[in-house]
Homo-oligomer: A and B are copies of this chain.
């Protein structure tokens, strides 16, 4: 039934270790079929090297497994929450990539210091508030999605295609799961560069508004002129 969707989710999942974003089995990617209201996601705790497209688990937006024999990723409720809250999103990626996770652990957003960053985000990479003991004790992974959604109350997920979950790690998204993978690579890269720029200039201010707007709009929106489209 979901052969193509599972292949797409599979390709995204195996791209993560290839890009150096994954340690051990930390991380997962999902792709949604909006018409059918279901998404394909990585099974829980399976080694990337052993993964095949048929292993992907398909879950509907009510959280019911509709295809696949394995347990879906334990982070599935977070993905589901994001698909419900962000209707324009076609894919979600979660990694524990090292430099981005260092910012998440410190509870700091990734400041926007250059054009590399501005090509992907319309400002800093936001960080959620810490979760409460109650949120952690109840439906933890669903509540993880909720603190992300709360952080985006006044942010457009198309302008900010990712977030750092405080004390945890990054999530990214995009119109397709392939684009969400690309953004996960970008988040790790800009986290690494921001860390070094901060070492060189501890009080470095964010880039100028004009430069941010120029670069973000080169790649996004009606006036985009980057690439072949």
Contact = CB atoms under 8 A, between A and B. Distances in A.
A189 B24 contact: yes
Nearest to A99: B196
Given A210-B137, A218-B74, A199 B199 contact: yes
A107 B201 contact: yes
B114 A168 contact: yes
Interface in A169-203: 169, 182, 185-186, 189, 192-201
Interface in A34-80: 43-46, 70-71, 74
A121 to B, nearest CB: 14
B106 A45 contact: no
A107 to B, nearest CB: 7
Contacts of A221: none
A219 B102 CA distance: 22
Listed from nearest, the 3 A-B pairs whose CB atoms lie closest are A45-B227, A102-B196, A105-B114
